[in-house]
Amino acid sequence: MNEKPVSREEIFKELDEFQSLDCKYSDGRILGSMCTEAHPIAKEVFNRFLDSNLGDPGLFKGTKLIEDEVLKMIGSFLSLENPSGHIVTGGTEANIMAIRAARNLAREKGISNGEIIVPQSAHFSFKKAVDMLNLKLVNAELDENYRIDPSSVEDNVNENTVAIVGIAGTTELGMIDPIEELSDIALENDVHLHVDAAFGGFSIPFLKDNHDFPRFDFSLPGVKSITVDPHKMGLAPIPSGGILFRDNTFLDAMSVDSPYLTIKHQSTIVGTRLGASSAATFAVMKYLGKEGYRKFAEESLVKTHFLANELKGLGYDLVVEPNLNIVAFNHPNLKTDDLAVMLEERNWKVSCSVCPKAIRVILMNHIKKDNLIEFISDLKEISESI
Ligand code: EBR
């Protein structure tokens, strides 16, 4: 480290050089991200609340009220009036908290060798959760549309099951699992049902009036917790994830004494934590309202169907008809990895799914119709060149 202070000019010059190596959402070439550029009002508010620490909420009472308000607003579109929960760093932390609560409550019932059942399509954060929480991960099979097969869940539930996980917007394909059926299984077996709606949580509720989506939220009695990330479809800055629980018993099951803080107990994994995430999320949610999110979600679906139809017209194969704003596809005569390289050479930042192997494009807000037209023209050229 430098001994003497460095001038602002020099610092910014150096940082500019580093930053010039980063990809920019605004270029419209990042096709494989589930995050996007945060809304301007959220960025402004984030800066203003940078010093507030929700790890010690008695010092930041106003920011704590903001976090509560954000949870209430999210609860209002997930059919739960008074949710318990927190704004956390993202889907990973939210999922770990949900599984931790389920494990601790199951322990109270005498389960010591706990297992969780997750679909094969689950995000890898559940692998981290079982590793950290000393649980066993059991994979449930998928149906032909890459959604969890409830009969596979039924086959795998046993006396050690502490949680079942369903997904509303899978990471790779954006599919929505049949949560209603999982809810019945969870109730019958007295097991915690967690819904990972990290991706779909900020779009499905706004699309459901005009589209035929299955129920996935707290209106289903078996659902005990939901992950929903403002920093994905919610246009909030990173880090902003959400974990909502049906009531306080779940946070209580994880609480530890927290001496020397302004609160006596703490249930979050993280201690010192940003208030800025809550404040920025509050601002963008208020600013857009349900109407604004409906508009963004509808636009992303229009782009999704445009891309899907164009791909079919060019002879590419879709893995599955999209549920949400993700299109996964292959070329009938090319290996996915080779196609990915060809697209990378044309400066597209693509990402590949594993189950099954395919190129996947997530139609986030930063991808505009013009970007898609250019992308489709490159895919046409690739197709004609082989
Ligand atoms: C994808 C995160 C991602 C974001 C990937 C940007 C590439 C990017 N997914 O460029 C679900 C259903 C997810 C998910 C992340 C997480 C974890 C949980 N559940 O901790 O905020 O799709 O990354 O969320 P995180």
Closest ligand 1 atom to residue 200 Cα is 12
Backbone angles phi, psi at 327, to 5 degrees: -120, 125
**pLDDT value of residue 379:** 98
pTM of the predicted model as reported, rounded to 2 decimal places: 0.98
Task: Please state, in angstroms and rounded to a whole number, the distance separating the CA atoms of residues 189 and 162.
Answer: 10
Chain centroid to CA 26:
21
Q: How far is the CA of 290 from the centre of ligand 1 (A)?
A: 23
Report which secondary-structure segment, H or E, holds 91.
helix 91-108
Nearest in space to 36 (alpha carbons), one of 370, 372, 368: 368
How far is CA 147 from each of CA 119, 151, 225, 314, 327, rounded to the nearest angstrom? 8, 12, 19, 27, 15
Q: List the one residue out of 384, 385, 386, 376 whose CA is nearest residue 311.
A: 376
Q: Whose CA is nearest to atom 3 of ligand 1?
A: 34
- Print burial letters for 100-114: b (CB count within 10 Å at least 16), e (below 16): bbbbbbbeeeebeeb
| CA 40 to centroid of ligand 1, rounded, Å | 22
Question: Which residue from 170, 84, 161 is spatially nearest to 125, judged by alpha carbons?
Answer: 170
Whether 196 is in the pocket of ligand 1, judged by its Cβ within 6 Å, is: yes
User: Is the shortest distance between the CB of 119 and ligand 1 below 6 Å?
Assistant: no
Does the beta carbon of 254 sit less than 6 angstroms from any atom of ligand 1?
A: no
Question: Among 182, 143, 146, which residue's Cα sits nearest to residue 163?
Answer: 182
Per-residue confidence (pLDDT) for residue 37, from 0 to 100: 98
Residues whose CB is less than 8 angstroms from the CB of residue 202 and which lie 6 or more positions away in sequence, other chains included: 228, 229, 230, 232, 233, 234, 293, 297
Res 276: pLDDT: 98
Reading the chain (386 residues) residue by residue, the pLDDT tens digits are: 999 999 999 999 999 999 999 999 999 999 999 999 999 999 999 999 999 999 999 999 999 999 999 999 999 999 999 999 999 999 999 999 999 999 999 999 999 999 999 999 999 999 999 999 999 999 999 999 999 999 999 999 999 999 999 999 999 999 999 999 999 999 999 999 999 999 999 999 999 999 999 999 999 999 999 999 999 999 999 999 999 999 999 999 999 999 999 999 999 999 999 999 999 999 999 999 999 999 999 999 999 999 999 999 999 999 999 999 999 999 999 999 999 999 999 999 999 999 999 999 999 999 999 999 999 999 999 999 98
pLDDT of res. 197: 99
Helix (H, G, I), strand (E, B) or coil at 256: strand
Query: How many angstroms does the Cα of residue 216 sit away from the middle of ligand 1?
Result: 19
Nearest residue to 51 (alpha-carbon basis) of 278, 275, 277:
275
CA nearest to 189, candidates 132, 244, 226, 150: 150
SS3 119: strand
**Centroid of ligand 1 to alpha carbon of 235 (angstroms):** 14
Which amino acid is present at 146? Y
Mutating to test ligand 1, I would choose from 89, 128, 146, 232 the residue with most ligand atoms within 8 A of its C-beta, which is 232
Give the atom of ligand 1 at the shortest distance from the alpha carbon of 197. 12
User: Ligand 1 centre from 199 Cα, in Å?
Assistant: 8
* Among protein residues, the one whose CA lies closest to atom 4 of ligand 1: 34
